[in-house]
Structure 1
Amino acid sequence: MTNVAVINYSPHLDYAAMFPDIAGSLQVFSHHELKNTGKLGRYEYVENCESVPYVELMIRRLAREKPFTHLITDNEYDLERAARIREDLGIPGQSSASALSFRDKVVMKQTASRTVRTPRFARLGTIVDLTAFIAENAYPVVVKPVKQGGSRDIVVLRGEEDLIAFSRRPWREDLMAEEFIEGSMYHVDAVLADGYRFVASSRYLRSCLGVFSGQNNGSLQLRPDDAFAVRLEEFLDRVLGAFDTPETGAYHLEVFHAPGDELVFCEIASRVGGDRIPALTRATYGVDLHTAVLRQSCGLPVDPPPSGPPAEVHGSVSILPQGIPVRAPGRPPFDWVRHYEVNEGLEPGAVTTYSASYLCFVIVSGTDTAEVEKRLLEAEAWLMENLEDLPEKVS
C-alpha cells in the first residue's frame, strides 16, 4: 500500500492535482500554506519547516504506525534531511552521500572535476586560507557559503580594498573561495528516469550576481536542436557521470561559457530549477518539471516528454526591487507577452536579497533565442520606463 511522506517548500504546488490517483496516501508537511489540501491524507503547515526538526520527528513517528513507501521533497535545503530519513527507514531514493555531493559546493566541485573542468576552489577555515588562495590564484576571487542558494551571500573580491572590506564582516564557518570565471552563463534543466529523458538548455540574460549591482535578472531558452544546446546536454551527461545519482532525479546545472569557447562547470543541484524555469518549461514543452520528477519518484506514470522541436521558445526578465517605493506598471502592450505578474506581497522600498527577487516579471515568446532576447530587452525597457514612484514614508 502506497504511503508517501512529502516535505514541501513551494507555495504553488497542488499535490492533489499532481497526484489524483494517490492523493489520500500523501502525508504533506509544508513550509508555505497550500490550497486544495482537502483530499490529501494529511496536510500540515509548519512554520519555518526547513529549519525546525518537527517534520523529521513526525515522519519517524508516523512510520511506526504505517511504514512509508516513498519520501519526496521539492526543496534543495531538505535534500540531506530527506536522504537521512530514507536511509534510516529503508525508503528507496537519493542517498545521503549523493545529497551531500549536490549540496556542499566543495564536495560538488571535487566530484565534478573528475569529468569536466571546474574553477579552482578551496574550503576556507580562516582568513589566512583566503589570503593564501588569493596569493596563488590572484584576483578576482569569489567567496560564498558552501550550501547556500539563489546567489545569496556571494561576494566577489576584485582587489585589496574588497578584501579589507570583507575582513570587517563577521567570519562564517561555511565559506569557500573559487576562481572567478569570465563569460556568459547557461543553465541546463533535466528530469531523468528509467525510460524518461527531458533536457532543456537556456542562457541567463545577465550574470546572476548582477542583481546585487542593480541588473535585472532573466533567462532565455535555446531551441533543443541548436548545436550549442546539444553541446550543453552532452556536458550535463559528463557531469552526472561523476555523481552518484538516484534512479529518478531532477537537475539544474549552471555552466560558464568561458573565453576560448570552453565550457566550465559552475554548480549543479539535484532538484527542479527555481525562479521562472518551471513556467518557461511548461510554456515551451508542456512539461511540468515538478510533476514529472515527483510522480516518477513514487513509481507513478507520467506523460512522455515531447519528441519533436517546439513551435516557439520563451524567456523571462524580472524587474528588481528598486530599494525605493515604486509601483509596477500594468501589463506591457505587446502581443508576444505570454505572462505578466506583479509581486503583490513585496513591501514598498524592498531591496534585492537573492537572484530570484522581483518587483514584477514578464514571460515572452519567440521563434528562436535571438528573437526572445530582443523582445525581453524591449519589454524590460518598457517596464522600467513605466515604473511609478510612490511617496516616501515619513518616519
Structure 2
Amino acid sequence: MTSVRPTTNIAVINYGPRLDYPAMLPELVDKLHVFSHNELQNTEGLAHYEHIEDCESVPYPELMIRRLAGEKPFSHVVTDNEYDLERAARIRADFGISGQSPASALSFRDKLVMKEVAGHTVATARFARLETIVDLTRFIERCAYPVVVKPVKQGGSRDIAVLRGDDDLVAFSRRPWRDDLMAEEFIEGPMYHVDAVLGEGYRFVASSRYLRSCLGVFSGQNNGSVQLHPQDPFAKRLAEFLDRTLEAFDTPEVSAYHLEVFHTPEDGLVLCEIASRIGGDRIPLLTRATYGVDLHTTLLRQLCGLPVGPPPTAPPAAVHGSVSILPQGRPVRAPGRPPFEWVRHYEVNEQLAPGAVTVHSASHLCFVIVCGADTAEVERRLLQAEAWLLANLEEAPYQGS
C-alpha cells in the first residue's frame, strides 16, 4: 500500500451512526473533515466535524467540502453511504481526485442503468423504465404478472410494489405517480447476497442467503441472513458470479460491493442488484463475527492509502446468521436476551418509537445473532431464537396524547 503523504486531506460524508473514524484511521485523525447524517460519539481531534440533519439529502455537505477544498485541496473524498456515492464522485471529478468516477457511481446507483450494464455479462430480469402508466401496462402484457415496480435509486426495499394481478395494478394506479420508476420481471427463488472488499492485492468475498425475501417485511415477515461456509461449492459459484458481473462495470481500484442474486428453480443465477458499497443491516456484524474482518475499516483504510492486514485464508470455525424482529405497529417491549448458549449477540432498538411500523427492510424492534457449524444449523437456531423472541414480547402501555 502507498504511504501517507504530508498533503493528505480527507473529506468524509458519513452515514453510519457507530463508525469511529479516529479508531479506524488513527494516522489521519487531524486530516479528517467529517459531515455526518447521524451524530457520532468519538469526534475529538478531527480536523472538522458537523452533524447535519438529513445530511444525505441536503446539498450543504457538498457546498462546504467545495469551499474547504479552496483553502486546502483534498487528497481523498470518501463516503459509507450509497446515497452519497454520486456526489462524492462528482466532487472527485471536479477536483481531479482519484477514486470512483461519476459514470461508475451512476451505474451502481441507477438500477435501470445497472441492469443495462450488467446484462452484458450475466442474466438479469427483464425490465423497463416507466414514463407513464401505459409503459407499465405494456410491460405487464409482455411479461405477465407478477411484476415489480420500484424507484431506480431507492434502497432498503423502500417504495417497492409487487403487482400480482389486475387488482394490484388498479390499487397502484391510485398512488401519486413518480418520475423515477422502473418495472422488472418477478423472479422466483431464494435470494443470496455476496459482500466483498476488493483492492490492489486484496480480495475478501463472503456469501450469504437471506432468511426470507427482503420484501416480506412489508407483509409481516421478519428479515434475516444466513452465511454460507466459504468452502461450500455454492459460495464459490456466487463469488464467480460476482466476478462476471463486475467485468461489465467501470470499477474503481478499491471498492466494496453488495450483490443480490436470485437462485431460480431451474438452478440459474439471475442478478437482482449490485451496489458499490458495504452491505447494510447486520452484514458487517456477521462478517466480523465469522471472519474477523471489519468491512468499514478494511475499505476506508485502503481508500485512504493506508495498509490493512491480509484477508483471512483459514476456514472459519463457525458461521453466523441474524434475524430481526419487526416493529409490531403497537407498543411492545422486546424481551431480554434469548437463553441459548449459541446466541452471540442480542440488541434492542432503543431508538424505536412505541407503535412504530416497518418502513424499510432493516427496520427492527430487536435482533439476534447466532452461530453454528454450517448454514443448516444456523438457520435452525435462528428460527428457534425468533420463536422465543416472538413468544416473549410484552405489551407496553400506550403513551399517546
The normalised TM-score by structure 1 is: 0.99
Q: What does 1:181-220 correspond to in 2, within 5 Å?
A: 181-220=187-226
Give the counterpart letter for 1:360 in structure 2: C
Shift of 1:137: 0.5
Shift of 1:65: 1.1
Q: CA offsets per residue over residues 5-36 of structure 1, 9 Å max, x none?
A: 00001111000000011111111111111011
Alignment size in residue pairs: 395
Among residues 367, 372, 376, which one is paired with 1:366 in the alignment?
Answer: 372
Matches of 1:37 and 1:229 in 2, distance apart? 39
In the other structure, the counterpart of 2:293 is 287
In the other structure, the counterpart of 1:119 is 125
Give the counterpart letter for 1:270 in structure 2: S
Given the alignment of the two structures, is residue 155 of structure 1 paired with residue 161 of structure 2, yes or no? yes
Matches of 1:156 and 1:377 in 2, distance apart? 26
Among residues 13, 17, 34, which one is paired with 2:23 in the alignment?
Answer: 17
Matches of 2:240 and 2:232 in 1, distance apart? 13
SS of equivalent residue, structure 2 residue 298: helix
In the other structure, the counterpart of 2:135 is 129
Give the counterpart letter for 2:163 in structure 1: L
The normalised TM-score by structure 2 is: 0.98
Q: CA offsets per residue over residues 297-332 of structure 1, 9 Å max, x none?
A: 111111111111100000000000011111100000
In the other structure, the counterpart of 2:234 is 228
Among residues 83, 87, 92, which one is paired with 2:89 in the alignment?
Answer: 83
SS of equivalent residue, structure 1 residue 215: coil
Given the alignment of the two structures, is residue 311 of structure 1 paired with residue 309 of structure 2, yes or no? no
Give the counterpart letter for 1:118 in structure 2: T
In the other structure, the counterpart of 1:386 is 392
SS of equivalent residue, structure 2 residue 171: helix
Matches of 2:328 and 2:88 in 1, distance apart? 37
Given the alignment of the two structures, is residue 329 of structure 1 paired with residue 335 of structure 2, yes or no? yes
Matches of 2:226 and 2:348 in 1, distance apart? 20
Give the counterpart letter for 2:343 in structure 1: V
Q: CA offsets per residue over residues 61-114 of structure 1, 9 Å max, x none?
A: 111111100010000000000000000011100000000000000000001100
Shift of 1:393: 4.3
In the other structure, the counterpart of 1:47 is 53
Among residues 95, 104, 116, which one is paired with 2:110 in the alignment?
Answer: 104
Given the alignment of the two structures, is residue 36 of structure 1 paired with residue 42 of structure 2, yes or no? yes
Matches of 1:122 and 1:137 in 2, distance apart? 11
Shift of 1:392: 3.5
SS of equivalent residue, structure 2 residue 172: helix
Matches of 1:168 and 1:27 in 2, distance apart? 45
Distance 1:9 1:394, change over 3 A: closer
Matches of 2:49 and 2:233 in 1, distance apart? 46
Matches of 2:270 and 2:186 in 1, distance apart? 11
In the other structure, the counterpart of 2:266 is 260
SS of equivalent residue, structure 1 residue 271: coil
SS of equivalent residue, structure 2 residue 27: coil
Shift of 1:209: 0.3
In the other structure, the counterpart of 2:181 is 175
Shift of 1:165: 0.3
Structure 1 gaps of 5+ residues are none
Among residues 61, 74, 78, which one is paired with 1:68 in the alignment?
Answer: 74
Q: Percent identity?
A: 77
SS of equivalent residue, structure 1 residue 35: coil
SS of equivalent residue, structure 2 residue 12: strand
SS of equivalent residue, structure 1 residue 21: helix
Shift of 1:40: 1.1
Shift of 1:288: 0.5
Matches of 1:312 and 1:104 in 2, distance apart? 36
Distance 1:394 1:15, change over 3 A: closer
Give the counterpart letter for 2:53 in structure 1: E
Q: CA offsets per residue over residues 257-282 of structure 1, 9 Å max, x none?
A: 01110000000000000000000000
Matches of 1:394 and 1:273 in 2, distance apart? 36
Matches of 1:193 and 1:39 in 2, distance apart? 28
RMSD: 0.7
Shift of 1:391: 3.2
Distance 1:332 1:162, change over 3 A: same
In the other structure, the counterpart of 1:4 is 10
Shift of 1:394: 5.8
